[in-house]
Amino acid sequence: MQLNFTTLLNINYLSKGITLYYSLLNSCSNFHLYIFAVDEISYTILAKKNLSNVTIISLYEIESKELLASKRNRSVSEYCWTCKPFILKYCFQTFNLTNCTYIDADLYFYKTPLGLITSMGDNSVLITPHNYYSAYDQSAISGIYCAGFVTFKNTVDGNRVLNWWADACIKWCYANYEKGKWADQKYLDSWPYMFKGVYICENIYAGVAPWNAVSYQSEYDVENIIFYHFHDLQYISDGTWFTGGYDLPQLIINKMYRPYIKLLKLINESVPIDSLGTKDKHKFNVLSFKYKVGIYILDFKAAFKSFFETLLFTKRRRFYKNNFIK
């Protein structure tokens, strides 16, 4: 069975997206990844890498009038969330796929997700719970299920859910909670009740992430993780990385974060900047400058980020001193 995946990324997620690809290459025997590049420079760099089992698509390909209209009043992140169901629809319509899984670019696969997808049986949609650790439970705001890994089959039932999701995201998709909605994600909460053929993943090793990592404290747990969501992992400066507003077991940091960061560094070094034309080099330099400016801002903000995030979601009033690693 061929597994089909799709993701979208911009220059800030380029190295993470390439790292995601290599994790699929190492874990899956038969797969294809459809990458939607949000900006031209990401498209150019990815196209020059000639990755096997990959199709690079410019996001411009899917930008209908309704999407472009929504783009005018949404942030980059909000617009990318809005586009999620539309890139899935494009893959079904253009490549006639029987199945396709949307995956966030900051996921990393340690084992094949084939078993997760085959566990759907005759169902047409698979959703994965956040499995929040109790102190970090954000279900009421961000949703019970994570939109970072969602599988659809190209069936009547699957397309019914997908089309509903696309319509909902066009109407409303913002980074704030409002009347039971949050981004593209809170919509998933209603699917098991609204539609038939929606399967809830039961494997606790799918979707391990910072918000539940504290539940995975043993070597056995780490060895069985199928994929990890490196949510909010950000380079700060001087080799320091901010891991987000959650407590992480030292085992997770050593076994997962450090090797992942090492891979990100290697991928960054492999980006074919020298092969770009003068115009594309200029674009890359401009984007890199903006990113570096953002890094200095993060240096100031990151020390406070985990406090406010934790205060918002868990009402705990203390700083996390172990949210920075080198």
**How does pLDDT run across 199-252, given as a tens digit for each residue?**
999 999 999 999 999 999 999 999 999 999 999 998 877 778 888 888 899 999
Taking the domains of the chain in order of start, what are their residue ranges? 1-326
Range from 83-97, 231-245, 298-312 carrying the lowest mean pLDDT:
298-312
The pLDDT mean for the chain works out to: 87
Higher pLDDT, 12 or 193: 193
What single string gives the DSSP state of each residue in 233-263?
Answer: -EE-STT-EE--SS---HHHIIIIIHHHHHH
57-76 pLDDT, tens per residue? 999 999 999 999 999 999 99
Report pLDDT for 311: 47
Does 303 have pLDDT greater than 50? Answer: no
pLDDT at 294 over 50: no
Per-residue pLDDT at 244: 83
Closest CA to 191 of 241, 247, 111, 129: 129
Q: Which of 113-127, 245-259, 281-295 has the lowest mean pLDDT?
A: 281-295
pLDDT of residue 215: 96
Instruction: Please tell me the distance from the alpha carbon of residue 172 to that of residue 185, in angstroms, as a whole number.
Output: 11
pLDDT at residue number 280: 53
How far is Cα 207 from Cα 26, in angstroms, rounded to an integer? 18
Residue 41 above 70 pLDDT?
A: yes
The tokens for 187 are 């919509």
CA dihedral 11, 13, 16, 21 (to 10 degrees): -70
Residue 180: burial class (beta carbons within 10 Å; 0-12, 13-18, 19+): exposed
pLDDT band with cut points at 50, 70 and 90 for residue 1: confident
Alpha helix segments (H runs only) across the chain: 14-27, 40-49, 65-71, 76-95, 114-118, 139-142, 156-171, 191-194, 219-224, 250-252, 258-270, 278-314
DSSP 26-89: HH-SSEEEEEEESSHHHHHHHHHH--TTEEEEEGGGG--HHHHHHHTTS-HHHHHHHHHHHHHH
- How far is the C-alpha of 278 from the C-alpha of 114, rounded, in Å? 43
143-170 per-position pLDDT tens digit = 999 999 999 999 999 999 999 999 999 9
pLDDT digits (tens, 9 = 90+) for 250-287: 999 999 999 999 999 999 887 765 455 555 555 555 55
Please give the pLDDT value at position 282: 52
Hey, what amino acid is at 285?
N
Residue 297 clears pLDDT 90, i.e. is over it? no
Is 302's pLDDT higher than 60? no
Let me know the angle formed at the C-alpha of 91 by 73 and 143, rounded to the nearest 5 degrees: 55
**Residue 134 structure tokens:** 């109790």
Of 128, 148, 150, 130, nearest in space to 140 by CA: 130
As given in the structure block, the two tokens for residue 297 are 């801002």
Reference 17, options 40, 47, 37; nearest CA is 37
The answer to whether the Cα torsion of 251, 252, 256, 260 is positive or negative is negative
- Given a cut of 70, whether residue 183 has pLDDT beyond it is yes
Fold (topology level) of 1-326: Spore Coat Polysaccharide Biosynthesis Protein SpsA; Chain A (3.90.550)
pLDDT in the model for residue 314: 43
Integer angstrom CA distances of residue 84 from 151, 176, 267: 12, 18, 25
pLDDT value at position 295? 38
Percent of the chain with pLDDT over 70: 84
